[in-house]
Structure 1
Amino acid sequence: MEAPASKHTRNISRSSRPRSSTKGPLDQPDDPLGSGAVNTSASPTSSTAEDGGFTGASFNNLDPLGPDELPPTLEKDLGYLLRYDVYHSLSQIEIPHALRSEFLAPTSDESLSTSLATLERLLAEGHFLLAAYLCGTILTSSLISPTDIKRIFSLFYTRLACLQLSGNTIIAAQESKALEDLSSAFYYVEPISEPSENHTSYPRHIVPWPLRVLAIRLQSIGFGDSRRGIGGLYEIGLEARREILRPDLAPHERNIWRERLSDLGMRNVNALIEMGDLDAARRSLGILRMSEPESETTTMRKALLLLLIGDLDAARQLCGGASDAGNTVFSPLLSMADGRYDDAVVEWRALIGNENQRPDEAMISQNLAVCLLYTGRLNEAREVLESLVQANHSFSSLVFNLSTVYELCSDKSAKLKTDLVETVAKQPVTGATNLDRPNGDFKL
């Protein structure tokens, strides 16, 4: 019989509210053990990177710090995630015909390993809607045992992430509610090893960290309560701080927890921006302590959040102190945020001309095209965007912006956008972009 603590109860938090303090749970703690180095809509839209890919590696091993196995005397029944009523029907009606592919489902004699191999292939190719469909099909089939927690959580996370990547965030938000309260005692287990004088026993959460973070955001959308999302970030932030201060933690594990805590702080600022509380977002970002050394990606995230807040002076100060060569994109981004599009055109072009080939050249070229559009040079903007498509780039903001340019410069925009769909459909599969593109990407 299962222990009482393992029953799926709601609203039973594993952590109590901390006393009021000048330091929040999402700030980096003062680590007495020292700090180790951390490895590191209708208008045109600019971008800072191409659409992110979703690789099979993330499916197989979501959380390197998660418990590998449960105590032999304890089983967790996740049958509530295997019910048919949890998962919504998916359709390709919003996808242009040229980009549609057949939904795949396991046959009656197909093994679980074969189905998972098919899922890996879909993820590697960028068929995120098809991958989401297959995840739901596997989870509701007889191939999965209700006690196979690692595989169930991996499939559930992949389902939610792929729904987001394919533009079905609302569906993902509704399905995420099946997890209920992730802070309940049901989701915690005691470690198998016995505590010793130098090793304290800490309860371990059985849900992979990426799924916990994703579920916090999706459940706040699903329940229509943005404050729930911020509260959830602080809840797991307290756990991250506790883990960082553990004296028995290995250095590489401590670095992972530091990175996680820094990421939570950034997500909290973004949540405040989405709520419209820009003053709180500015204060939170201003006092946020990051892991050292701060990576280029972290600096970029902070700068973009400052631009969203509208604090150009703080963004300029942050960018001015950046010494990494990759941070040269900050200058034209600041010019764009300040409305100086002519200056931004010169700066974007200078970046392209400085090197033979930059890894972010497609992003830079697209931002150049956006600036050309805002300065009234539609034909030049069209040439730049079309050249990117001809070079087999087709990330979401690119095709959206090119479709916008077609609407502005031609009476035959509908045909031009349809031709664009056909061109994108013939591009080689790289796995770097979502192949199951909705009509909205092409403004159809």
Structure 2
Amino acid sequence: MESQGSKHRRNPSVKSSRPRSVTKGPLDATDDPLAPPEILTSPRQSQVQSPGGSDSPATASPAALDRLAAGDVAAARKDLSFLLRPEIYHPLSQLEIPPPLRSDFPSPRPDEPLSSSLSALDKLLAEGHFLLAAHLSGSLLTSPEVSPTDINTIFSLLYTRLACLELTGNTLLAAQESKALEDLNSGFYYLESDFETAASEGDRRCHPRHIVPWPLRVLAVRLQSIGFGDTRRGIAGLYELGLEARREIMRPGIDKAEKEIWKERLADLGIRSVNALIEMGDLDAARRQLDGLKGPKAKNDTDKLRKALLYVRIGDVGAAKEILIESSQLGEGILKPLLNMAEGRYGDAVDEWRGLLEKNINKPNEAMIAQNLAVCLLYTGQLNESRALLESLVSANNCFQSLTFNLATIYELCSEKARNLKMQLAEEVSRQSHFGEINVDRTNADFKL
């Protein structure tokens, strides 16, 4: 293993200073890498060409982009045994889970190969057992089957562990465990390349390459800011990732598919920075950041809706309405009734939600639309209709968190035997089939037990 000195050495190519409030950062700089090619202002950007000459994004994917090739892993020679210490990973409990939803924690057998354990982990994730997956990931990370130099497996298991803890409401545990990564901008986490060979081959390794997958780095920024009790650390971390994304976008020789991935990542970091400011409680800064995000207008209605929902969250309903006016497609979607709810016009919202259900054009969001309709019915005093609608959603194999919580609230309002009804609800949810889109290991709070 490399010495502690090398592990904590800062890479000279990475800027780690906190972004100053009086300057523009990588997420709102004037020279915008998200701009279309015809308006690029950087000479380096204007010279970038796709090797294949194709106008459409190619086959590159974020997963393939972050996975280290066998030769890279061999060249890295990193000993990650400091991430395999048992004391890092907290024991998990199911005491806060209703009895009908509890399952035995899986543990790898001593004679079981690692590939079999990883397959079992994939099955748990596919079935939505995120707490069990978090437990199994921690068990594998501390088992002798995982080599300290198996970089891809270690980071994959660690990401699964932290993400599943967050999805199951154990964010504080995930924040504490993320501290084991220490400084992700340390030179230890960079793969030093053979600059002469790389430059002659024209590959992407002509500059130091981070060995930690991008999703884990983004997740760690937020978790470490919580774990170290420093909210500004999260903002600074996002800006550092933004600087890296901009450098990758402007790198000569980058192919078009990879460039599109980095553009998407940079745009995502801008939105995450707004979320981080909202979590800090600085709504004024969040509004300014949201207004100052550079780049072309949102590519699709999903991006526009995402931005509008952030405006609603910070209380700027007027700005959200402007987005609604600009897009005729959003006018036919969920944004209009949501804005009616934000302004307390629940009667109008009921009509809007009913209209969306009758149009039958939002099949993937039908359960969410029906639940919002039920909430509006509750606020307009139609308690029985609201209860019947939510119960029909549960019977149709829907059991997401807000649905069960809202139905449990209605049980408390309309029955003296609310606890029995909520236990029956938990039992019904436990009998449903799940496909990994919803967390099955639900806590008592989800059912108000």
Task: For 1:253, give the aligned amino acid.
Answer: E
1:434 aligns with 2:435: no
Instruction: Choose from 255, 259, 272 the match for 1:254.
Output: 259
Q: 1:6 to 1:250 in 2, by over 3 A?
A: farther
Alignment-derived partner of residue 234 in structure 1: 239
Distance in 1, Cα, partners of 2:9 & 2:211? 16
**Where do 5+ consecutive residues of structure 2 fail to align?**
none
Q: Secondary structure at the match of 1:345?
A: helix
Q: Deviations over 1:233-274 (max 9, x none)?
A: 001110001111111110111100000000000000011111
Q: Taking structure 1 as reference, are residues 239 and 341 closer, same or farther at Cα in structure 2, changes over 3 Å only? A: same
Provide the residue aligned with 1:52 in structure 2.
Answer: none
Say if 1:381 and 1:71 are closer, same or farther in 2 by CA, change over 3 A. closer
Change (3 A) 1:286 1:293: closer
Q: Are 2:426 and 2:447, in contact at CA under 8 Å, matched by a contact in 1?
A: yes
Q: Give the Å deviation of 1:297.
A: 2.3
The two structures have a TM-score, normalised by structure 2, of: 0.88
Select which of 126, 151, 154 maps to 1:152: 154
SS of match in other structure, 1:108: coil
In structure 1, what is the Cα distance between the partners aligned to 2:138 and 2:342? 42
Q: Paired residue for 2:165?
A: 163
The letter of the residue matching 2:143 is S
Could you tell me which residue of structure 1 aligns to residue 198 of structure 2? 194
Query: 1:304 pairs with 306, 309, 312, which one?
Result: 309
- Aligned residues of 2:305 and 2:330 also touching (Cα < 8 A): no
The answer for the alignment partner of 1:68 in structure 2 is 69
Where do 5+ consecutive residues of structure 1 fail to align?
41-59
After superposition, what is the alpha-carbon deviation per residue over 1:385-429, rounded to whole angstroms, capped at 9, x for unaligned?
011001110000000010011111111111110110111111122
Partner of 2:27: 26
Q: Deviations over 1:82-117 (max 9, x none)?
A: 000000000111111100111111111101011001
- Show the counterpart of 2:110: 108
In the alignment, which residue of structure 2 is the partner of 1:46? none
Preserved CA contact (<8 Å) 1:119 1:134: yes
Asked whether the equivalents of residues 411 and 422 of structure 2 are also in contact (C-alpha less than 8 Å), the reply is yes
Q: Is it true that 1:320 corresponds to 2:322 in the alignment?
A: no
Higher RCO, 1 vs 2 (CA within 8 Å, ≥6 residues apart)? 1
The more displaced of 236-245 and 350-359 is 350-359
Distance 1:243 1:415, change over 3 A: same
Give me the whole-angstrom Cα distance separating, in 1, the residues matched to 2:13 and 2:422: 53
- Residue 14 of structure 2 corresponds to 15
Q: Distance in 2 between matches of 1:330 and 1:306?
A: 12
Aligned partners of 2:225 and 2:231 also within 8 Å: yes
The 1:291–1:222 alpha-carbon spacing in structure 2 relative to 1, beyond 3 Å, is farther
Amino acid aligned to 1:277:
D
Secondary structure class of the residue paired with 1:319 = helix
Of the three residues 365, 369, 379, the one matched with 1:364 is: 369
Assess if the C-alpha contact under 8 Å between 1:258 and 1:291 holds in 2: no
Distance in 2 (alpha carbons) for counterparts of 1:344 and 1:38: 40
Indicate conservation of the 8 Å contact 2:66/2:212, yes or no.
Answer: no
Give the number of the structure whose residues are more often helix, by fraction: 2
Quickly say closer, same or farther: Cα 1:123–1:290, change in 2 above 3 A: farther
Map of 1:90 onto structure 2:
92
Cα 1:420–1:312 shift into 2, 3 Å: same
Instruction: Return the TM-score normalized by structure 1.
Output: 0.89
Task: Look up the equivalent residue of 1:261 and give its one-letter code.
Answer: L
**Residue 25 of structure 2 aligns to which amino acid in structure 1?**
G
Residue 245 of structure 1 corresponds to which residue in structure 2?
250
Instruction: Kindly indicate whether the alpha-carbon contact (under 8 Å) linking 1:173 and 1:219 is maintained by their aligned counterparts in 2.
Output: yes
1: CA distance, partners of 2:4 / 2:13 = 11
* 2:217 paired with 1:212: yes
Per-residue CA shift, 1:134-163, capped at 9, x if unaligned? 000011001000000110000000000111
1:291 is displaced (CA, Å) by 5.5
C-alpha offsets along residues 300-333 of structure 1, whole Å, 9 cap, x if unaligned? Answer: 2111110011111110001221233686111001
**SS of the residue aligned with 1:7?**
helix
Partner SS for 1:195: helix
User: Which residue in the other structure is 1:138 paired with?
Assistant: 140
Q: Counterparts of 2:199 and 2:301 in 1: how far apart (Å)?
A: 40
Cα deviation, 1:46-80, whole Å, max 9, x if unaligned, reads xxxxxxxxxxxxxx984524432426454100001
- Residue 184 of structure 1: CA displacement? 0.6
- State the partner residue of 2:179: 177
Are 1:391 and 2:393 matched, yes or no? no
Aligned to 1:56: none
Q: 1:79, 1:319 → 2: CA distance? A: 52
Partner of 1:381: 386
User: Offset at 1:295?
Assistant: 2.5
> Any idea what SS the aligned residue of 1:104 has?
coil
CA distance in 2, matches of 1:107, 1:403: 40
Of 386-395 and 191-200, the range deviating more from structure 2: 191-200
Letter in 1 for 2:290: L
8 Å contact from structure 1 (residues 385, 398) kept in 2: yes
Indicate if the aligned counterparts of 2:57 and 2:257 stay in contact, CA closer than 8 A. no
- Amino acid across the alignment from 1:196: S
1:67·1:204 contact (CA, 8 Å) conserved in 2? no
Contact between 1:166 and 1:437, CA under 8 Å: does it hold in 2? yes
Question: Is 1:416 aligned to residue 421 of structure 2?
Answer: yes
Contact 2:27 2:270 in 1 (8 A): yes
User: CA offset at residue 377 of structure 1?
Assistant: 1.5
SS in structure 2 of the partner of residue 332 of structure 1: helix
Q: What is the CA distance between 1:19 and its match in structure 2? A: 9.2
In structure 2, distance between residues paired with 1:184 and 1:325 = 44
Q: Structure 1 CA distance, aligned partners of 2:203 and 2:65?
A: 20
TM-superposition CA deviations, 1:348-397 (whole Å, max 9, x none):
00000112772210000001111111122211111110110011100000
CA distance change for structure 1 residues 222 and 291 in 2, over 3 Å: closer, same or farther?
farther
